[in-house]
């Protein structure tokens, strides 16, 4: 699986709880997860172990999109999130698993992300690129400390 796996690491200036919420609140998830040039829509989100989630990305330039979703495998508030995902498109077979580990550190939160089982037809470097863009949007969402 090493060739179909991406591993990312970031330290963000925010709390583990705020980061966790960004993964389990529909409005937040659709705000930061789509890579640049895409919009996102959460159709279903039941953030409990075994609960379903489903969303779609739409290419803003072309209007073309794709849908995907799965189940929550682990949810430990402020610490760990794991979920699986499959694409609705039969040309993107298989089930991916994403695991996120959050650890409080002196300046915020250390976040590790591992996504496994990426379909063979998707170049892993494209997943890295997409995740890097998503993580920029995630930082923009969770790092500001706006009073009120």
Q: Which two tokens stand for residue 145?
A: 């400390």
Q: What is the pLDDT of residues 112-141, one digit of tens each?
A: 999 999 999 899 999 999 999 999 999 999
**For the domain with range 2-142, which CATH number is right: 3.20.190.10, 3.40.50.300, 2.102.10.10, 3.30.530.20?**
3.30.530.20
Q: What is the pLDDT of residues 18-59, one digit of tens each?
A: 999 999 999 999 999 999 999 999 999 999 999 999 999 999
Residues comprising the chain, all counted: 148
Give the rounded distance of the alpha carbon of 27 from its chain centre: 13
Q: How is the chain split into domains, by residue range?
A: 2-142
Confidence at 17, pLDDT banded by 50, 70, 90: very high
Q: Give pTM, 2 decimals.
A: 0.94
pLDDT of residue 96: 96
Specify whether the CB–CB gap between 42 and 26 falls below 8 A: yes
Distance CA 99, CA 39 (A): 23
């Amino acid at each position: 699986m090493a060739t179909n796996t991406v591993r990312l690491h970031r330290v963000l200036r925010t709390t583990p709880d705020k980061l966790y919420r960004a993964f389990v609140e529909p409005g937040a998830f659709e705000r930061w997860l789509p890579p640049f040039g895409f919009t996102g829509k959460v159709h279903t989100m039941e953030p409990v172990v075994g609960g379903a989630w489903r969303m779609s990305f739409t290419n803003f330039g072309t209007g073309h999109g794709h849908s995907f979703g799965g189940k929550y495998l682990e949810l430990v508030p402020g610490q760990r999130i794991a979920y699986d995902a499959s694409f609705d498109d039969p040309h993107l077979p298989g089930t991916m698993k994403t695991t996120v580990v959050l650890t409080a550190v002196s300046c915020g939160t250390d976040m590790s992300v591992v996504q496994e089982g990426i379909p063979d037809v998707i170049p892993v470097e494209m997943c890295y690129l997409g995740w890097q863009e998503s993580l920029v949007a995630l930082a923009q969402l969770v790092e500001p400390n706006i009073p009120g």
